[in-house]
Amino acid sequence: MELGEDVVRHVESLARLELTGDEREAMRRDLQRILDYVAELAALDLADVPPFAETRPGGGVLREDAARPSLPASAALDGAPAAAAGHFVVPPAIAAAEDGDA
């Protein structure tokens, strides 16, 4: 496929990266070369093949529902770039508060 700058910008936004104009063009060229290479997969007939993730072995490992000590409160916040009153602190989102989806 031909990788346009618009797609690179979109992916950059999904990945929360920020490239300068030059970096973006260099990135576009690198990704284009890699996509040209992986295009060999497109030629294969894979219609009836299950994805590996669904066929991998294992599946029985679960934990018992027992509460264990958490980290000391300070340890959770120790490495935080900004914290206040026991909370992590970040600047507000410009967009209205989205509460995720959970």
Partner 1 sequence: MLESLTLGEALAGIERGDFSADEVTAALDARIDSLDPHLNAYVHRAPAGAGAAAGIAPAGGPLCGLPFTLKDNMNLRGTPTGCASRILASYESPYDCTAAARLLAAGGRYLGKTNMDEFGMGSSNEYSAHGPVRNPWDLARAPGGSSGGAAAAVAADLALFALGSDTGGSIRQPAALCGVVGAKPTYGRVSRYGLVAFASSLDQIGPLAKDVADAARVLELIMGPDPRDATSLDAPVPRLLAAARKSARGLRVGLPEGLAVLGLDDAVAAAWEAAAAALAAQGAERVAVSLPRLRHATAAYYLLATAEASSNLARYDGVRYGLRAAGAADLDALYRRSRAEGFGPEVRRRIMLGTFALSRGYYEEYYLRAQKLRTLLARDFDQAWERCDCLLLPTTPGPAFRLGERLDDPLAMYLGDVFTLPVNLAGLPAVSVPTAVHAGLPLGMQVVGRPLDEVTVFRAAAALERAFPFRETRRRAVAAALDAGDAP
Partner 2 sequence: MSARGANEGAAPRGANGGPAGWEAVIGLEIHAQLRTRSKAFCGCEVRFGGEANTRCCPVCLGLPGALPVLNRRAVELALRVGLALGCRVVERSVMARKNYFYPDLPKGYQITQYEAPLCEGGEVPFLLDGEERRLRLTRIHLEEDAGKSLHAGGETRVDLNRAGVPLIEIVTEPELASPAAAHAFLVALRRLLVWLAVCDGNMEEGSLRCDANVSLRLAGETGLGVKTELKNLNSFRGVEQALAFEIDRQERRLAAGEPVAPETRLWDAARREARPMRGKETVQDYRYFPEPDLPPLAVDAAWREAVRAGLPELPDARRRRLQAEHGLTVDEAELLTADRDLADYYEAAAAGGDGALAAHWVAGEILRLRKETGGFPVPPAVLGGLLARVGEGAVSHTAAKAVLERLAAEGGEPDAWIARLGLARLDDAAVLAGIVDGVLAAHPAELARYRGGRTKLFRFFVGRVMQETGGRADPRLVDRLLRERLDG
Contact residues for partner 2, defined by CB under 8 A: 14, 16, 51, 53-54, 56-71, 73, 76-77, 84-102
Q: Comparing C-alpha atoms, which of 30, 26, 35, 41 is closest to residue 2?
A: 35
Q: Comparing C-alpha atoms, which of 7, 10, 5 is closest to residue 25?
A: 5
Site membership for partner 1, residue 63 (CB under 8 A): yes
Going by the DSSP 8-state scheme, the letter that residue 83 receives in this structure is: E
What are the backbone dihedrals phi and psi of residue 46, each rounded to the nearest 5 degrees, phi first?
Answer: -120, 15
Site membership for partner 1, residue 25 (CB under 8 A): no
Site membership for partner 1, residue 46 (CB under 8 A): yes
What are the backbone dihedrals phi and psi of residue 21, each rounded to the nearest 5 degrees, phi first?
Answer: -55, -45
What are the backbone dihedrals phi and psi of residue 23, each rounded to the nearest 5 degrees, phi first?
Answer: -60, -40
- Residue 101's binding partner among partner 1, partner 2, none (Cβ under 5 to 8 angstroms by kind) is partner 2
Q: Which residues bind partner 1 (CB under 8 A)?
A: 7-8, 10-12, 14-19, 27, 30-31, 33-34, 37-38, 40-42, 44, 46, 49-53, 55-56, 58, 60-63, 71, 75, 78-82, 88, 90-94
